[in-house]
Amino acid sequence: MENPVCPIDYRYGRKELKDVFGETSKLQYLLDVEATLARAHAKIGNIPKNAAEEITKKATVKYVKVERVNEIEKETRHDIMAVTKALSEVCAGTAGKYVHLGATSYDIVDTANALQFAQATALISQQLKELRKTLVELAKTHKHTIMLGRTHGQFSIPITFGLKMAVYAMEIDRQLERIHECKSRVLVGKMSGAVGTGAAMGKHMLKIQEHVMADLKLGTEEGATQIVGRDRYIELLSVLSNIATTMEKFSTEIRNLQRSEINEVSEAFESKKQVGSSTMPQKQNPIVCEQICGLARIIRSFIIPAYENAIQWHERDLCNSASERFILPHSLILTDWIIYQMNTVFKNIKVKPEKMLENLERSQGLPMSEAVMTKLVEKGLGRGEAHEILRQSSLKAAQNNIHLRTVLATEKTISKLLSKKELDDALNPKNYLGSSEQIIEMIIKKLSR
């Protein structure tokens, strides 16, 4: 390829996904649909069986070349007419005259799209499963790795890194459910002609359509216009946008935890010669996570034209065609890519338990105020009164930059209700992890089935 412009051509995307949407692959999917249509016509007696066999034999990129299709399209200015003419040319005898019989262009295009969606979503699901497995392993490994929980960007109460990973694994599991559940509505084709009546197919139109979709293992658009309903494409791109948002969420967390003042986890540098900055030699930047965040925003942006494309004049206009050439392959290729990149990050992530403990200690006991409050309530103090004591004590500790234990030791109500050991136990983060371990084990069991 000379002077590629799109970064997908040279920078982003796995070969497996790009192969699904390459020019040659796209042509093959279109030819597959044309061949299946010919066989359906033969089954009901509309065309000779040997004609369908010849069309099927020649409906491959071995015979129908991309270069010839492009050459014809320059003359016809119609992509599907170029495909059908190129296929007809290579068919022996009279078989060529039966190519594309009764079909409109988008019978072929939308059905081929569904075949591409089936292959692409299968590959994406495979990547999601790999990522889920990686997160489950991290949850197991770090079941007891204590760290600060944070809300509003501030210290809250202790959690474990294992719990964070288990929560992430469950989110991936839900994304797998979503991509599976949308397939019944997204993987559909049609053979109902220019306005959905199937008139050109003749009296056996419904049978032809049934044969084609059964052969291709696709669902059927029961009531079509000239195209498959674009509400289906909106759903697909919505699921992809949701997945992309999950990837950006995970990446943002890693980027935050890798900040110099936190430094609890970090991306691994992939090679000894990797450079973080062209001017600052010390930099080790979370560049993969930043790439994921940037590409996730591109994926989500494609949902807008997907909605616009669903608004058609009467039974069809052509406004969807050009934008779908961009948004469909790009959304699927980039979604797969950022899942793959996210899995690479988590597989090689550097977790720093000692830094997590250091940050806990640096918090000077403030994240344990809820634990102390809860212990006071257990001893019979009203919750409101306990909350006020801890609120004032926490403010005093923060203002004077001293440990919360020091302030609480001077509070008469606390010393009256709690022994020194009880106070120390309440201020110990290891004693205030709730049901974290059970939750992690429950998730691991669920996702390991």
Residue 157 DSSP symbol: E
Residue of 220, 187, 212 whose CA lies nearest to 113: 187
Report which secondary-structure segment, H or E, holds 350: strand 350-351
Output the six-digit token pair for 166.
């288990």
Rg (the chain; Cα; Å): 30
- Of the candidates 152, 271, 314, 419, the residue annotated as catalytic is 152
Measured in whole angstroms, how far is the alpha carbon of residue 97 from the centre of its chain? 44
Handedness of CA 132, 137, 143, 149 (dihedral sign): negative
Alpha-carbon gap, residue 439 to 251, rounded angstroms: 23
What is the distance between the alpha carbons of residues 211 and 44, in angstroms, rounded to a whole number? 10
Please confirm, yes or no, whether 277 is among the known catalytic residues: yes
Which one of 78, 156, 180, 277 is the catalytic residue? 277
Active site annotation includes 25: no
What DSSP line would sit under 113-151, residue for residue? HHHHHHHHHHHHHHHHHHHHHHHHHHHHHTTT-EEEEEE
DSSP of 78-108, one letter per residue?
Answer: -HHHHHHHHHHHHS-TTGGGGTTTT--HHHH
What amino acid positions are annotated as catalytic residues?
152, 277
